[in-house]
Structure 1
Amino acid sequence: MKRDEFLKALAALAAAGALPLSAQAATAVKMMIPANPGGGWDTTGRALGKALQEAKAADSVQFENKGGAAGALGLAQFVNASKGDGNAMMVMGAVMLGGIITGKPPVNLSTCTPIARLTSEYNVFVLPANSPHKTMADVVAQLKKDPGSVKWGGGSRGSTEHIAAAMIARAVGVDPAKINYVAFRGGGEAIAAILGGNVTVGGSGYSEFAEYIKAGKMKPISVTSPKRLNDVPTLKEQGIDVEIGNWRGVYGAPGISAAQRKALTDMVMAAIKTKSWQESLAKNDWTPAVMTGPAFDEFVEREFASLRATMVKSGMV
Structure 2
Amino acid sequence: MGLRRKIWSSVMALSLVGAMTLTGCAPKAAETKAETAPAASGTETQAAAPAEEKVDYPKSALEFIAPGGAGGGWDLTIRTVAKVLQDTKLVDKPMPITNNSGGGGGVNLAYMQTQEGSEKLISVYSPPILLINLNGSSEYSYENTTPLARLITDYGAFVVPKDSKYKSIKDVMDALKADPKSVKIGGNSSAGSMDHIQFLIIAKAAGVTNLKEIDYISFQDGTATAQILGGHVDLLTTGLGDVQSLIESGDLIALAHTGAERVGEGMLAEIPTCKEQGIDATFENWRGLFGAPNMPQYAVDFWQETLAKMVETEEWKAERAKHGWADAYMNQADFTNFLKETNENYKEILSEIGLLAVQ
TM-score by length of 1: 0.86
The 2-side partners of 1:279 and 1:56 are apart by: 17
Among candidates 204, 207, 227, match of residue 261 of structure 2? 227
CA positional deviation for 1:90 = 1.0
8 Å CA contact 2:153–2:287 kept in 1: the answer is yes
The 2-side partners of 1:134 and 1:70 are apart by: 30
CA positional deviation for 1:275 = 4.5
Among candidates 194, 198, 213, match of residue 164 of structure 1? 198
Secondary structure, in 3 states, of the residue corresponding to 1:90? strand
Unaligned runs of 5+ in 1: 1-11
Work out whether 1:49 is the aligned partner of 2:82.
yes
8 Å CA contact 1:160–1:245 kept in 2: the answer is no
How many residue pairs were aligned? 297
CA positional deviation for 1:66 = 1.3
The 1-side partners of 2:81 and 2:199 are apart by: 30
CA positional deviation for 1:231 = 2.9
Residue 305 of structure 1 corresponds to which residue in structure 2? Answer: 344
Residue 124 of structure 2 corresponds to which residue in structure 1? Answer: 91
The 1-side partners of 2:300 and 2:179 are apart by: 51
The superposition leaves residues 56-107 of structure 1 with CA deviations (integer Å, 9 ceiling, x where unpaired) of 4241012211112221111111221x21111211111113212221134133
> Which residue identity lines up with residue 318 of structure 2 in the other structure?
E
Identical amino acids, percent of aligned pairs:
31
The 1-side partners of 2:345 and 2:133 are apart by: 13
Residue 178 of structure 1 corresponds to which residue in structure 2? Answer: 213
Among candidates 173, 182, 193, match of residue 140 of structure 1? 173
The 1-side partners of 2:351 and 2:293 are apart by: 30
The 1-side partners of 2:311 and 2:168 are apart by: 38
RMSD: 2.1
TM-score by length of 2: 0.77
The superposition leaves residues 199-242 of structure 1 with CA deviations (integer Å, 9 ceiling, x where unpaired) of 11112222222221122111111121222342322223323232
The 2-side partners of 1:241 and 1:275 are apart by: 34
Among candidates 253, 258, 277, match of residue 292 of structure 2? 253
By relative contact order (CA 8 Å, sep 6+), the higher-ranking structure is: 1
Of 202-211 and 262-271, deviating more is 262-271
Q: How does 1:1-317 map to 2 (within 5 A)?
A: 13-15=53-55, 26-54=59-87, 55-80=89-114, 82-157=115-190, 158-171=192-205, 172-185=207-220, 189-229=223-263, 230-317=269-356
Task: Select the structure that is richer in strand.
Answer: 1
Unaligned runs of 5+ in 2: 1-51, 264-268
Structure number with greater Rg is: 2
8 Å CA contact 1:169–1:179 kept in 2: the answer is no
